Chain A
Amino acid sequence: MDTLLDPETRGANRIIPGAVDCDVHPASPAMKELMPYLDDYLSQSVVDRGIEQLTSVHYPPNAPITCREDWRGPGDAASALKRMQTHLLDGMGVGTAILNQMLGIQILFNADMGAAFARGLNDFMAREWLDKDDRLRASMVLPQQSPELCVDEIERLAGDKRFVQVMMLVMGDRPLGHQMYWPIYRAAEKHGLPIAIHAGSMYRHPLTGVGWSSYHSQDYAANAVNFQTTVTSLIAEGVFTKFPNLKVVMSESGWTWLPAYLWRMDKYWHGLRMLTPWVDRLPREIIADNFRFTLQPVDAPPDRAVLEKLMEHVGTEDLLLFSTDYPHWQFDGTECVPDGFSDSQLRKMMIDTPKATYSRL
């Protein structure tokens, strides 16, 4: 038996040594932490205009899902990194963690200001996180307000291989397949950077097609439906006909909706493909080639039989990328992998699929 897979030598969390955790959240910096990384004009603006914080309402800092109770602590980078090392890297044995920084700079309407904050935030991530622990990698935060400025940021940072992908929020100005975003995809494909599409919104539109919600719980639930419409958009617009090597990593998307979604999407493609003739393959084939999904949250009951059936419905073991979504509260204790995955599936999602997805790892 492969010693790495021997249940005796690994903890209850079933994390394989060297596992890549593809969705981890560093603390968002307070403005005073970020200030040294902002350009002169922006840092002066922050003071003159009293810009106190850019926290997205999508993740209220004290809300249960935003941070598990036993993982809370001081928010400064040094303390937060120490906690992450204690709980995740050393504690659970994650080998490599890909950091998705969720400070809400994309919500600003001023694109130049958004880009200036993105530059500062990415530099902050490089110095205060990536430099401090070589197990860490990060997604570039992009000023999603302006595809042109996104490309500038990709070009600026492409030489730093610790940035292994770029990140966009699932709810933007337009559905993400739209041609306005294609310069981003062209630049990302050129540099071998997958596009992480992460839960969250620029708050340009109501978070659902039926209007504004009353509760945070509804907004969080709405991420899954917006990932679904985003898959439709990316496929229908022909993004992967244009950029066949582009990889999209749906992050904190949920994925148990995927089989039912594809049964419907394939059916509609059969019925309406004459209206989007550039989509020249079944949607499920495009999903298999170009999409990956991070593991957490697993929206399924804690029932091994259901999970095994779900994986049969997904039909391939190659779509999932291991993630804990640390420190978001998606599981308790160290039980980050639900019962029902075989050892070979775990090896794929923790080691093989991340390596195949991220050319920079």
Chain B
Amino acid sequence: MNVEARPNPLKTQSVELGIADCDVHPNPASLEDEVFPFIEQKWRDYIATYGMVQRIGFAGGTQYPKGQPRASRRDSYPPEGGPPASSLSFFREQHLDAHNVDMAVMIPLRIGQALQNMDLAVAVCAAINEWQTEFWTSKEPRIKGSIVMAYENADACVQQIEKHAHKDDFVQISMLSRTPDPMGHRKYWPIYEAAAANGLPVGVHAFGYGGNPPTGGGYPSYYIEDMMAHAQSCQALITSMVYEGVFDRIPDLKLVIVEGGIAWLPSLMWRLDKIWEKNRLELSHVKRPPSEIIRQHVWLTSQPIEEPDNRQQLVEAIEWMGWDRVLYASDYPHWDFDDPKRALPVQLTKEQRDGFFRGNAYKAYGLS
């Protein structure tokens, strides 16, 4: 339900300690006021003149208009004005305090990562990282940032990682799932090496405009198809990273898949195992069964969590991938927000509950 705020959200009973929410989306109240101060004047002029061009036809917005403005809950607009999740005080009130969240991983979207002009992309991403620190993480210790990068320029990414990785403000680096080439491609390896060397997971959030149709059969017609297809894009990117041998070559690499769903992972692991067994000639650089690699290196955030009628079946699917693989996420302030009280409405053991809502995230992000 995204129309009406619950006036008195109950404190969640899910975990005794606070929840770790691995996907929230604070926005700048305005680019001009909050982000442009970190960008050279020439790029501000450039943006004013040409805009921020991605591999889509519209100057603003997407080819698939969303189901509601900014794909956001209609109750998430701050009382003082501005876009959803642009006010720290309202973010605290409506989400952090209301849901007992004591670690929220912010993943900035609609920023420079996929811009066609590479130099502009580098400049905007660098500014967004400064903005995260200045406006959010330095003011609220419960919020952790993601180092965003112009990932088609590996050198610039490594610079950003080196610059920010040592700060407590950031817990991961951030890429978008729909890259121009599959994520196992070696042009991305320097990014992964730098992330691993600095002990940061690579968080891959659904979306992005790599210029490929979202399906192998071309562009679909409807927003629901675009949204559904994120699960498939994430399966394809995991396939690429495993079969390209990325995890064999960078044994400390951690991958967190964000907002692609979770329950498809067992079937993918089984399929990749079978194909790997038959194609050892081609995949000789992949030393272990794909399922083993995935269970060691890959985490998935829960939202939008699958909802079978019999919720116990989701529990069974999670057991096939391992309870330690799944990290709770709300996707606040977006319309398909998963309330922690409702995300997994089944009887869990204390260990499962604590892992899902907190412990797995602390392990994945290397926090204590």
Chain A residues in the interface with B (C-beta under 8 A): 63-65, 170-178, 201, 204-218, 220-222, 224-226, 228-230, 232-233, 236-237, 254, 256-257, 259-261, 263-269, 271-272, 274-276, 297, 299-301, 306, 309, 312-313, 329
Contact = CB atoms under 8 A, between A and B. Distances in A.
Given A267-B306, A271-B335, A271-B336, A233 B220 contact: yes
B151 to A, nearest CB: 12
A259 B278 CA distance: 26
Contact of B216 (A201, A215, A272, A313): A201
B46 interface: no
Interface in B224-259: 224-225, 227-229, 231-233, 235-237, 239-240, 243-244
Given A215-B243, A217-B282, A236-B225, A171 B182 contact: no
Interface string B270-314: 111111101101110000000000000000000010111000011
Given A204-B217, A224-B271, 4 more contacts: A205-B213, A208-B239, A260-B317, A261-B264
A210 B316 contact: no
Q: 5 closest A-B pairs (Cβ-Cβ)?
A: A260-B263, A263-B306, A208-B236, A225-B232, A299-B271
A173 B279 CA distance: 29
B18 interface: no
Given A209-B215, A267-B304, A214 B67 contact: no
Given A64-B278, A221-B239, A267-B306, A210 B270 contact: no
A272 B224 CA distance: 7
Tier of interface size on chain B: 35 or more
Contacts of A225: 216, 232-233, 235-236
Nearest to A309: B316
A261 B278 CA distance: 26
A280 to B, nearest CB: 14
A284 B149 CA distance: 40
Given A64-B279, A275-B223, A175 B218 contact: yes
Contact of A210 (B178, B224, B335): B178
A210 B222 contact: no
A17 B269 CA distance: 34
Contact of A275 (B67, B217, B237, B239): B67
Interface in B142-190: 177-185
B268 interface: yes
A253 B275 CA distance: 14
A213 B225 contact: no
Nearest to A224: B271
Contacts of B13: none
B215 to A, nearest CB: 4
Contacts of B239: 208, 218, 221-222
B306 A275 contact: no
B84 interface: no
15 contacts: A176-B217, A207-B216, A214-B182, A218-B243, A229-B229, A232-B228, A233-B225, A236-B221, A236-B225, A257-B271, A263-B313, A264-B231, A272-B227, A274-B67, A313-B308
B267 interface: yes
A340 to B, nearest CB: 14
B278 A229 contact: no
A257 B264 contact: yes
A118 to B, nearest CB: 19
A229 B214 contact: yes
B218 A205 contact: yes
B216 A209 contact: yes
B275 A313 contact: no
B267 A254 contact: yes
A344 to B, nearest CB: 22
Contacts of B235: 224-225
A232 B271 contact: no
Given A220-B275, A221-B272, A229-B228, A272 B236 contact: no
Interface in B86-110: none
B133 to A, nearest CB: 30
A201 B215 CA distance: 11
Given A210-B178, A210-B233, A222-B236, A263 B225 contact: no
B229 A232 contact: yes
B227 A222 contact: no
B138 interface: no
The residue among B217, B270, B307 with the most chain A CB atoms within 10 A of its own CB is B217
B67 to A, nearest CB: 5
Given A232-B225, A257-B264, A271-B67, A210 B236 contact: yes
Contacts of B237: 210
B278 A268 contact: no
A171 B282 CA distance: 23
Contacts of A313: 308, 313, 316-317
B240 A210 contact: yes
B203 interface: no
A210 B177 contact: yes
A210 B182 contact: yes
B92 to A, nearest CB: 27
